[in-house]
Protein backbone atom coordinates (compact mmCIF):
# COMPACT_ATOMS: atom_id res chain seq x y z
CA UNK A 1 0.00 0.00 0.00
CA UNK A 2 1.43 3.38 -1.03
CA UNK A 3 1.99 6.00 1.65
CA UNK A 4 -0.74 8.64 1.89
CA UNK A 5 -1.05 12.21 3.06
CA UNK A 6 -4.25 12.71 5.04
CA UNK A 7 -4.40 16.50 5.31
CA UNK A 8 -6.72 18.83 3.39
CA UNK A 9 -5.37 21.14 0.70
CA UNK A 10 -8.31 23.51 1.13
CA UNK A 11 -8.19 23.76 4.93
CA UNK A 12 -6.86 27.11 6.07
CA UNK A 13 -5.70 27.98 9.57
CA UNK A 14 -8.39 29.11 11.97
CA UNK A 15 -9.27 32.80 12.08
CA UNK A 16 -7.24 34.32 14.96
CA UNK A 17 -9.02 34.80 18.28
CA UNK A 18 -8.65 38.60 18.19
CA UNK A 19 -10.24 38.67 14.73
CA UNK A 20 -13.15 36.56 15.97
CA UNK A 21 -13.64 38.92 18.93
CA UNK A 22 -13.62 41.93 16.59
CA UNK A 23 -16.16 40.25 14.31
CA UNK A 24 -18.44 39.47 17.26
CA UNK A 25 -18.30 43.11 18.35
CA UNK A 26 -19.41 44.22 14.88
CA UNK A 27 -22.23 41.68 14.87
CA UNK A 28 -23.40 42.82 18.29
CA UNK A 29 -23.49 46.41 17.07
CA UNK A 30 -25.70 45.49 14.11
CA UNK A 31 -23.82 48.05 12.01
CA UNK A 32 -22.24 46.01 9.24
CA UNK A 33 -22.37 48.62 6.45
CA UNK A 34 -19.14 50.60 6.19
CA UNK A 35 -20.94 53.96 6.36
CA UNK A 36 -23.26 53.07 9.26
CA UNK A 37 -21.20 54.92 11.87
CA UNK A 38 -21.80 56.87 15.05
CA UNK A 39 -20.63 60.47 15.36
CA UNK A 40 -16.85 60.65 15.35
CA UNK A 41 -16.41 56.92 14.66
CA UNK A 42 -13.90 55.89 11.97
CA UNK A 43 -15.27 52.39 11.45
CA UNK A 44 -13.54 49.08 10.81
CA UNK A 45 -13.25 49.52 7.02
CA UNK A 46 -11.69 52.98 7.18
CA UNK A 47 -9.25 51.81 9.84
CA UNK A 48 -8.31 48.79 7.72
CA UNK A 49 -7.75 51.00 4.67
CA UNK A 50 -5.36 53.23 6.60
CA UNK A 51 -3.51 50.26 8.08
CA UNK A 52 -3.16 48.48 4.75
CA UNK A 53 -2.04 51.71 3.05
CA UNK A 54 0.72 52.07 5.63
CA UNK A 55 1.75 48.42 5.39
CA UNK A 56 1.79 48.50 1.58
CA UNK A 57 3.61 51.84 1.46
CA UNK A 58 1.14 53.47 -0.94
CA UNK A 59 -0.54 56.86 -0.71
CA UNK A 60 -4.12 55.62 -0.96
CA UNK A 61 -6.04 52.40 -0.30
CA UNK A 62 -9.62 51.35 -1.04
CA UNK A 63 -11.23 48.21 0.43
CA UNK A 64 -13.70 46.40 -1.83
CA UNK A 65 -15.76 43.21 -2.03
CA UNK A 66 -13.26 41.10 -3.98
CA UNK A 67 -10.00 41.09 -5.87
CA UNK A 68 -11.99 40.72 -9.09
CA UNK A 69 -13.95 43.87 -8.31
CA UNK A 70 -10.69 45.67 -7.58
CA UNK A 71 -9.51 44.69 -11.09
CA UNK A 72 -12.70 45.93 -12.75
CA UNK A 73 -12.69 49.18 -10.81
CA UNK A 74 -9.01 49.71 -11.64
CA UNK A 75 -9.70 49.34 -15.37
CA UNK A 76 -12.62 51.78 -15.25
CA UNK A 77 -10.67 54.25 -13.10
CA UNK A 78 -7.86 54.19 -15.70
CA UNK A 79 -10.33 55.08 -18.43
CA UNK A 80 -10.73 51.73 -20.20
CA UNK A 81 -13.88 51.88 -22.33
CA UNK A 82 -15.71 49.29 -24.48
CA UNK A 83 -13.60 48.13 -27.37
CA UNK A 84 -10.25 49.14 -25.87
CA UNK A 85 -7.42 46.61 -26.13
CA UNK A 86 -5.96 45.56 -22.77
CA UNK A 87 -2.80 43.47 -22.53
CA UNK A 88 -2.59 40.62 -20.02
CA UNK A 89 -0.83 37.32 -19.37
CA UNK A 90 -1.65 34.29 -21.47
CA UNK A 91 -1.32 32.34 -18.20
CA UNK A 92 -3.51 33.62 -15.41
CA UNK A 93 -6.80 32.82 -13.69
CA UNK A 94 -10.20 33.56 -15.21
CA UNK A 95 -11.03 36.69 -13.12
CA UNK A 96 -8.28 38.62 -14.94
CA UNK A 97 -9.58 38.29 -18.52
CA UNK A 98 -13.04 38.30 -16.94
CA UNK A 99 -12.46 41.79 -15.55
CA UNK A 100 -11.33 43.02 -18.96
CA UNK A 101 -14.43 41.53 -20.58
CA UNK A 102 -16.70 42.94 -17.85
CA UNK A 103 -15.72 46.52 -18.69
CA UNK A 104 -16.02 45.89 -22.43
CA UNK A 105 -12.30 45.65 -23.13
CA UNK A 106 -10.62 43.26 -25.54
CA UNK A 107 -7.96 41.09 -23.93
CA UNK A 108 -4.68 40.79 -25.82
CA UNK A 109 -2.82 37.80 -24.42
CA UNK A 110 0.96 37.89 -23.96
CA UNK A 111 3.18 34.80 -23.93
CA UNK A 112 4.88 33.55 -20.76
CA UNK A 113 8.39 32.17 -20.32
CA UNK A 114 9.62 28.86 -18.88
CA UNK A 115 9.37 30.27 -15.34
CA UNK A 116 5.72 31.35 -15.75
CA UNK A 117 6.50 35.07 -15.99
CA UNK A 118 5.37 37.46 -18.71
CA UNK A 119 7.60 37.19 -21.80
CA UNK A 120 8.82 40.78 -22.06
CA UNK A 121 9.96 40.40 -25.67
CA UNK A 122 6.46 39.28 -26.66
CA UNK A 123 5.05 42.14 -24.58
CA UNK A 124 6.96 44.65 -26.72
CA UNK A 125 5.62 43.02 -29.88
CA UNK A 126 2.03 42.97 -28.60
CA UNK A 127 2.18 46.62 -27.49
CA UNK A 128 3.16 47.55 -31.01
CA UNK A 129 0.66 45.32 -32.81
CA UNK A 130 -2.37 45.95 -30.57
CA UNK A 131 -2.11 49.64 -29.84
CA UNK A 132 -3.10 48.82 -26.24
CA UNK A 133 -2.36 51.48 -23.65
CA UNK A 134 -3.12 49.41 -20.55
CA UNK A 135 -1.41 46.26 -19.25
CA UNK A 136 -3.19 44.25 -16.57
CA UNK A 137 -0.14 42.39 -15.28
CA UNK A 138 -0.97 39.18 -13.43
CA UNK A 139 1.72 38.11 -10.97
CA UNK A 140 0.35 34.64 -11.50
CA UNK A 141 1.00 32.17 -8.70
CA UNK A 142 3.33 34.62 -7.00
CA UNK A 143 5.91 34.98 -9.77
CA UNK A 144 7.20 38.50 -10.46
CA UNK A 145 8.79 39.19 -13.83
CA UNK A 146 11.69 41.64 -14.20
CA UNK A 147 9.72 44.63 -12.97
CA UNK A 148 12.48 47.13 -13.75
CA UNK A 149 12.59 46.11 -17.41
CA UNK A 150 8.80 45.80 -17.63
CA UNK A 151 8.26 49.33 -16.33
CA UNK A 152 10.92 50.67 -18.72
CA UNK A 153 9.11 49.05 -21.66
CA UNK A 154 5.67 50.28 -20.56
CA UNK A 155 6.81 53.80 -19.70
CA UNK A 156 8.49 54.19 -23.09
CA UNK A 157 5.29 53.09 -24.84
CA UNK A 158 2.97 55.15 -22.58
CA UNK A 159 1.29 51.96 -21.31
CA UNK A 160 -0.43 52.15 -17.92
CA UNK A 161 0.30 49.15 -15.69
CA UNK A 162 -2.32 47.67 -13.35
CA UNK A 163 -0.83 44.96 -11.13
CA UNK A 164 -2.90 41.94 -10.18
CA UNK A 165 -1.29 41.07 -6.84
CA UNK A 166 -3.79 38.43 -5.72
CA UNK A 167 -0.88 35.98 -5.31
CA UNK A 168 1.86 38.44 -4.31
CA UNK A 169 0.64 40.29 -1.24
CA UNK A 170 3.95 41.10 0.47
CA UNK A 171 6.20 39.95 -2.38
CA UNK A 172 9.00 42.30 -3.48
CA UNK A 173 11.18 42.97 -6.50
CA UNK A 174 14.49 44.61 -5.63
CA UNK A 175 12.98 45.55 -2.28
CA UNK A 176 9.86 47.24 -3.69
CA UNK A 177 6.52 45.64 -2.86
CA UNK A 178 4.42 44.24 -5.68
CA UNK A 179 1.61 46.69 -6.38
CA UNK A 180 3.90 49.71 -6.04
CA UNK A 181 5.32 49.60 -9.58
CA UNK A 182 2.28 50.33 -11.73
CA UNK A 183 -0.46 52.91 -11.50
CA UNK A 184 -2.66 50.60 -9.39
CA UNK A 185 -2.16 47.49 -7.29
CA UNK A 186 -5.09 45.08 -6.83
CA UNK A 187 -5.19 42.53 -4.00
CA UNK A 188 -7.50 39.73 -2.86
CA UNK A 189 -8.50 38.53 0.60
CA UNK A 190 -10.44 35.53 -0.65
CA UNK A 191 -10.04 32.45 1.56
CA UNK A 192 -7.14 30.93 -0.41
CA UNK A 193 -5.08 34.13 -0.46
CA UNK A 194 -2.70 35.61 2.13
CA UNK A 195 -5.39 37.06 4.38
CA UNK A 196 -8.77 35.41 4.72
CA UNK A 197 -12.12 37.20 4.80
CA UNK A 198 -13.95 34.72 2.56
CA UNK A 199 -14.15 37.37 -0.15
CA UNK A 200 -12.63 40.84 -0.22
CA UNK A 201 -9.90 42.93 -1.74
CA UNK A 202 -7.91 46.16 -1.89
CA UNK A 203 -6.94 48.68 -4.51
CA UNK A 204 -3.86 50.81 -3.84
CA UNK A 205 -2.41 53.74 -5.76
CA UNK A 206 -0.33 56.90 -5.40
CA UNK A 207 -2.58 58.80 -7.82
CA UNK A 208 -5.21 60.97 -6.10
CA UNK A 209 -7.41 61.15 -9.20
CA UNK A 210 -7.39 57.38 -9.62
CA UNK A 211 -8.17 56.92 -5.93
CA UNK A 212 -11.12 59.31 -6.14
CA UNK A 213 -12.57 57.67 -9.24
CA UNK A 214 -12.13 54.20 -7.73
CA UNK A 215 -13.84 55.26 -4.50
CA UNK A 216 -16.90 56.59 -6.32
CA UNK A 217 -16.95 53.47 -8.49
CA UNK A 218 -16.89 51.29 -5.37
CA UNK A 219 -20.18 52.81 -4.26
CA UNK A 220 -19.28 55.57 -1.81
CA UNK A 221 -22.11 57.86 -2.95
CA UNK A 222 -21.10 61.23 -1.49
CA UNK A 223 -19.68 59.63 1.68
CA UNK A 224 -16.10 59.47 0.39
CA UNK A 225 -14.99 61.62 3.32
CA UNK A 226 -15.53 58.61 5.58
CA UNK A 227 -12.71 56.65 3.95
CA UNK A 228 -9.57 56.01 5.92
CA UNK A 229 -6.97 56.27 3.18
CA UNK A 230 -8.46 58.40 0.43
CA UNK A 231 -7.45 61.69 -1.16
CA UNK A 232 -8.61 65.18 -0.17
CA UNK A 233 -12.11 66.34 -1.12
CA UNK A 234 -10.80 68.34 -4.09
CA UNK A 235 -9.87 65.11 -5.90
CA UNK A 236 -13.56 64.18 -6.09
CA UNK A 237 -14.82 67.32 -7.84
CA UNK A 238 -15.20 65.63 -11.23
CA UNK A 239 -15.21 61.97 -10.18
CA UNK A 240 -18.38 62.27 -8.12
CA UNK A 241 -20.32 63.28 -11.25
CA UNK A 242 -18.57 61.12 -13.84
CA UNK A 243 -18.10 57.69 -12.23
CA UNK A 244 -20.96 55.14 -11.97
CA UNK A 245 -21.74 53.40 -8.69
CA UNK A 246 -20.73 49.72 -8.93
CA UNK A 247 -21.65 48.84 -5.30
CA UNK A 248 -18.46 46.99 -4.40
CA UNK A 249 -17.96 48.19 -0.83
CA UNK A 250 -16.25 46.06 1.79
CA UNK A 251 -18.41 45.63 4.88
CA UNK A 252 -17.41 46.15 8.50
CA UNK A 253 -17.51 42.44 9.36
CA UNK A 254 -14.88 41.49 6.80
CA UNK A 255 -12.72 44.45 7.76
CA UNK A 256 -12.89 43.45 11.43
CA UNK A 257 -11.70 39.95 10.52
CA UNK A 258 -8.84 41.30 8.40
CA UNK A 259 -7.34 43.95 10.67
CA UNK A 260 -5.83 41.49 13.19
CA UNK A 261 -4.64 39.25 10.35
CA UNK A 262 -2.67 42.13 8.84
CA UNK A 263 -0.63 42.32 12.05
CA UNK A 264 0.47 38.70 11.51
CA UNK A 265 1.01 38.89 7.76
CA UNK A 266 4.79 39.38 7.67
CA UNK A 267 5.26 36.47 10.06
CA UNK A 268 2.97 34.30 7.94
CA UNK A 269 4.84 35.17 4.76
CA UNK A 270 8.01 33.83 6.40
CA UNK A 271 6.13 30.67 7.41
CA UNK A 272 4.88 30.12 3.85
CA UNK A 273 8.39 30.50 2.48
CA UNK A 274 9.78 27.89 4.87
CA UNK A 275 7.17 25.40 3.64
CA UNK A 276 7.81 26.31 0.02
CA UNK A 277 11.54 25.73 0.45
CA UNK A 278 10.96 22.23 1.85
CA UNK A 279 8.93 21.18 -1.19
CA UNK A 280 11.12 23.06 -3.66
CA UNK A 281 14.30 21.27 -2.51
CA UNK A 282 12.72 17.87 -3.07
CA UNK A 283 11.31 18.79 -6.47
CA UNK A 284 14.65 20.16 -7.65
CA UNK A 285 16.35 16.92 -6.63
CA UNK A 286 14.07 14.82 -8.87
CA UNK A 287 15.52 14.13 -12.30
CA UNK A 288 12.20 14.33 -14.16
CA UNK A 289 10.77 17.43 -12.50
CA UNK A 290 11.48 20.95 -13.72
CA UNK A 291 11.10 23.37 -10.83
CA UNK A 292 10.33 27.06 -11.31
CA UNK A 293 13.35 29.29 -10.80
CA UNK A 294 13.02 32.19 -8.35
CA UNK A 295 15.21 35.18 -9.31
CA UNK A 296 17.58 36.59 -6.69
CA UNK A 297 15.85 39.99 -6.96
CA UNK A 298 12.46 38.49 -6.09
CA UNK A 299 11.20 38.07 -2.53
CA UNK A 300 8.60 35.38 -3.03
CA UNK A 301 5.46 34.49 -1.06
CA UNK A 302 5.27 30.71 -1.30
CA UNK A 303 1.60 29.95 -0.67
CA UNK A 304 1.53 27.63 -3.69
CA UNK A 305 4.15 25.80 -5.73
CA UNK A 306 4.38 24.88 -9.39
CA UNK A 307 6.47 22.41 -11.38
CA UNK A 308 6.67 21.02 -14.90
CA UNK A 309 7.21 17.56 -16.34
CA UNK A 310 8.53 18.47 -19.80
CA UNK A 311 8.92 14.86 -20.99
CA UNK A 312 5.40 13.76 -20.02
CA UNK A 313 2.61 13.20 -22.52
CA UNK A 314 -0.95 14.39 -21.89
CA UNK A 315 -1.88 10.83 -20.91
CA UNK A 316 0.95 10.71 -18.37
CA UNK A 317 -0.12 14.08 -16.95
CA UNK A 318 -3.63 12.78 -16.44
CA UNK A 319 -2.24 9.65 -14.83
CA UNK A 320 -0.12 11.73 -12.46
CA UNK A 321 -3.20 13.56 -11.18
CA UNK A 322 -4.73 10.19 -10.34
CA UNK A 323 -1.58 8.68 -8.83
CA UNK A 324 -1.01 11.73 -6.66
CA UNK A 325 -4.65 11.69 -5.54
CA UNK A 326 -4.25 8.04 -4.52
CA UNK A 327 -1.52 9.27 -2.18
CA UNK A 328 -3.70 12.10 -0.82
CA UNK A 329 -1.95 14.84 -2.82
CA UNK A 330 -4.16 17.30 -4.70
CA UNK A 331 -2.48 18.60 -7.85
CA UNK A 332 -3.93 20.92 -10.47
CA UNK A 333 -2.94 20.52 -14.14
CA UNK A 334 -3.07 23.52 -16.46
CA UNK A 335 -2.83 21.35 -19.57
CA UNK A 336 -6.28 19.82 -19.16
CA UNK A 337 -8.58 20.44 -22.15
CA UNK A 338 -11.49 21.46 -19.89
CA UNK A 339 -11.56 23.86 -16.90
CA UNK A 340 -11.63 22.14 -13.50
CA UNK A 341 -12.45 24.00 -10.29
CA UNK A 342 -10.44 27.22 -10.18
CA UNK A 343 -8.05 26.00 -12.90
CA UNK A 344 -8.46 26.97 -16.54
CA UNK A 345 -6.32 27.94 -19.53
CA UNK A 346 -6.87 30.53 -22.24
CA UNK A 347 -8.55 28.22 -24.84
CA UNK A 348 -11.50 27.79 -22.45
CA UNK A 349 -12.06 31.57 -22.07
CA UNK A 350 -14.51 31.73 -24.97
CA UNK A 351 -15.44 35.32 -24.11
CA UNK A 352 -11.90 36.22 -25.22
CA UNK A 353 -11.02 36.10 -28.92
CA UNK A 354 -8.97 32.96 -29.67
CA UNK A 355 -5.27 33.76 -29.85
CA UNK A 356 -2.16 31.88 -30.93
CA UNK A 357 0.19 31.33 -27.95
CA UNK A 358 2.41 28.37 -28.89
CA UNK A 359 5.03 29.02 -26.21
CA UNK A 360 2.45 29.38 -23.44
CA UNK A 361 0.57 26.30 -24.62
CA UNK A 362 3.76 24.21 -24.59
CA UNK A 363 4.55 25.31 -21.03
CA UNK A 364 1.02 24.81 -19.71
CA UNK A 365 0.80 21.34 -21.29
CA UNK A 366 2.94 19.85 -18.49
CA UNK A 367 2.44 22.43 -15.73
CA UNK A 368 1.23 21.37 -12.28
CA UNK A 369 0.17 23.51 -9.34
CA UNK A 370 -0.35 22.79 -5.64
CA UNK A 371 -1.53 24.86 -2.69
CA UNK A 372 0.60 25.11 0.47
CA UNK A 373 -1.75 26.23 3.23
CA UNK A 374 -0.26 27.19 6.58
CA UNK A 375 -2.26 24.38 8.12
CA UNK A 376 0.50 22.10 6.74
CA UNK A 377 3.54 21.51 8.93
CA UNK A 378 7.07 21.34 7.54
CA UNK A 379 6.93 17.57 8.02
CA UNK A 380 3.70 17.50 6.01
CA UNK A 381 5.43 19.39 3.21
CA UNK A 382 8.36 16.96 3.20
CA UNK A 383 5.98 14.01 2.97
CA UNK A 384 3.95 15.64 0.19
CA UNK A 385 7.10 16.29 -1.83
CA UNK A 386 8.18 12.66 -1.42
CA UNK A 387 4.74 11.46 -2.52
CA UNK A 388 4.86 13.63 -5.64
CA UNK A 389 8.22 12.10 -6.51
CA UNK A 390 6.84 8.59 -6.00
CA UNK A 391 3.83 9.34 -8.20
CA UNK A 392 6.04 10.77 -10.96
CA UNK A 393 8.23 7.66 -10.87
CA UNK A 394 5.22 5.36 -11.01
CA UNK A 395 3.77 7.11 -14.05
CA UNK A 396 7.14 7.27 -15.81
CA UNK A 397 7.74 3.48 -15.61
Instruction: Provide the β-strand partners of residue 106.
Output: 85
Residue where one domain finishes, among candidates 213, 244, 259: 259
Q: Is 60 left (phi over 0), alpha (psi -120 to 50) or beta?
A: beta
**Residue 97 burial by Cβ neighbours in a 10 Å radius (0-12, 13-18, 19+):** buried
111 and 244 fall within a common domain: yes
Question: Looking at the chain, how many residues does it have?
Answer: 397
1 belongs to a structural domain: no
Residue 294 belongs to some domain of the structure:
yes
Low-confidence ranges of the chain (pLDDT < 50): 1
Backbone angles phi, psi at 38, to 5 degrees: -85, 165
pLDDT at residue 3 in the model: 85
Domain with 339 in it: 265-396
Note whether residue 9 is domain-resident: no
Over the stretch 255-276, which tens digit does the pLDDT of each residue have? Answer: 999 999 999 999 999 999 999 9
Asked if 343 contacts 19 with a C-beta cutoff of 8 angstroms, the reply is no
Q: Give residue 397's pLDDT.
A: 87
Q: Nearest CA to 201 among 189, 192, 213?
A: 189
142 shares its domain with 251: yes
The per-residue pLDDT for 2 is 66
> End of a domain among 232, 259, 286?
259
CATH number at residue 340: 3.90.1150.10
Amino acid sequence: MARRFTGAFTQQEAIPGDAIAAAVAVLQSGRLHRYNLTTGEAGEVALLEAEYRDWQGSDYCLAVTSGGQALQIALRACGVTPGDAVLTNGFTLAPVPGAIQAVGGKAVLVEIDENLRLDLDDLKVKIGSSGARVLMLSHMRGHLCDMDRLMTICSAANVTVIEDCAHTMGARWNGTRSGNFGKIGCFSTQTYKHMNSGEGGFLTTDDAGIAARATILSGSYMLYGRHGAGPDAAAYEDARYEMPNCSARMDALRAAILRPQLKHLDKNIARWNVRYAVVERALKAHNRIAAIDLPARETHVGSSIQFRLPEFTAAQCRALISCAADRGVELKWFGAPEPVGFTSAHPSWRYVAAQDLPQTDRILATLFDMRLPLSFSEADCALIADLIGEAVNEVAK
